[in-house]
Structure 1
């Protein structure tokens, strides 16, 4: 997949896109990411791309022509029309399902607005869809574009070591992810659920499914309402009743001298 980010701040985007898993995928050739400076497509001697809004108001608006030139040049360079996305608080909210859908496309061009936004005529003429990463306003579209790049890029073939790395994560199947634990088995008086130490893979899978269902029900009832429980789900909910994992025995408790008949050492 190729992802290009059209921005007024290409260095900012390059810095983030060159780090962590996405950065490694770029260097390995699993993912192509390029950052384009919108100012390069300005006719202004000072490379300005914005002007005051018609009708008055605060701030500046990015002109349609530099944006259009940028997108059209990208299509010419790559000999392929990109799927053009404008990052905007007015767009549809970006979700995991949208990330999955976009990961199946060959070429994305993410356009970052700034100031008071962009000329609406550019959106009408060239943009395929508008996306928002949440119900709030940022100073520009760069952070939103990087969120989309990361969420989509990690789903592309070869970026993660195995598809299971993301298929069991929150939102992929409409549920939130189950709790995760690692060493040590005891930490600050808290233990790991015994089923995870059992080595019984079927029980572990069942427990995780139940935890995903219960966490989703508690924290995101809007998502849970859309879940269709299977007969197997209902059996698992009965098999794994809701309970908090028992706290691990502290070192002080382990080393305490118990009265005869009250400690487990005295059990037959």
Structure 2
């Protein structure tokens, strides 16, 4: 996977790629990256990259010319040009391999989640466009951008932060970055949140590690972890349980435990109502 990040502040991006697991993945050749400073593609002496929006309004908007030139330097192709090429070419599959997927990080984009992270992790290359100020000229979006993606329903001043969230969520899914076993047991891997985990010492602040984890009985540990995952998901993200049940993605064992735990909650609520 290659990540190309277009930004006004490449130092934010460079620091991330030069640390921790990411740095190791780059050293092994599993990940490649390039940061492009959009300001380098401004032609005036001040390297101006923003101006007031037509029609008025607060804030400034990023200019289309520097972004367009920066995108083309990254190998991005205008969508219409790609369509025209595909019409004249007898190998559209070949075209798709050549065209890089361009993503603009935007609060008005579709919501980023684990399913989308898996989809993007399957790409050979992603070009990530980081906005600032009030955003970018719509003509850049119309001409180059394949996906507008939001990392959540809130506003950030930095598109770079959003880009790094997307990168961190996707690169770890690429073969050779971290172990497959770690990925299988993570939150959202199968519609459930992760179970609680403990390490040494056995007793901390008078609280002891659950006995089952010290037992060495692998099947009992597996059952305990599954139950804890369901309990946590029911308490914190019941929407994930509902989604998983509708999609039929849970095993028979998981569905049985969900039903039992939901019954326990209903009985508990009923007892409370009677006492009141």
Q: TM-score, normalised by structure 1?
A: 0.84
In 2: Cα distance, 1:81 partner to 1:66 partner: 20
1:6 aligns with 2:23: no
Does the CA-based 8 Å contact 1:89-1:132 persist in structure 2? yes
Rate the CA distance shift 1:39–1:202 in 2: closer, same or farther, 3 A: same
Q: What is the RMSD computed on CA atoms of the aligned residues?
A: 2.3
Could you list the runs of 5+ residues in structure 2 that have no partner in the other structure? 78-96, 265-276
Match of 2:205 in 1: 188
In 1: Cα distance, 2:172 partner to 2:212 partner: 30
Match of 1:211 in 2: 228
1:136 aligns with 2:157: no
Match of 1:56 in 2: 56
In 2: Cα distance, 1:212 partner to 1:242 partner: 17
Match of 2:216 in 1: 199
**Once the 2 structures are TM-superposed, how far is the Cα of residue 238 of structure 1 from its aligned partner?**
9.1
**Once the 2 structures are TM-superposed, how far is the Cα of residue 187 of structure 1 from its aligned partner?**
0.9
Q: TM-score, normalised by structure 2?
A: 0.81
Match of 1:147 in 2: 165
Q: Which portions of structure 1, spanning 4 or more consecutive aligned residues, are displaced by more than 3 angstroms?
A: 234-243
**Once the 2 structures are TM-superposed, how far is the Cα of residue 186 of structure 1 from its aligned partner?**
1.1
**Once the 2 structures are TM-superposed, how far is the Cα of residue 76 of structure 1 from its aligned partner?**
7.1
**Once the 2 structures are TM-superposed, how far is the Cα of residue 130 of structure 1 from its aligned partner?**
0.7
In 1: Cα distance, 2:199 partner to 2:263 partner: 21
SS at match of 1:5: strand
**Once the 2 structures are TM-superposed, how far is the Cα of residue 97 of structure 1 from its aligned partner?**
1.2
In 2: Cα distance, 1:201 partner to 1:138 partner: 44
Could you list the runs of 5+ residues in structure 1 that have no partner in the other structure? 244-268
1:114 aligns with 2:150: no
SS at match of 2:200: coil
SS at match of 1:195: helix
Match of 1:250 in 2: none
Aligned pairs, number:
241
Structure with bigger gyration radius: 1
**Once the 2 structures are TM-superposed, how far is the Cα of residue 2 of structure 1 from its aligned partner?**
0.2
SS at match of 2:36: strand
Report the more deviating stretch, 127-136 or 15-24. 15-24
**Once the 2 structures are TM-superposed, how far is the Cα of residue 207 of structure 1 from its aligned partner?**
1.4
Structure showing the higher helix proportion among its residues: 2
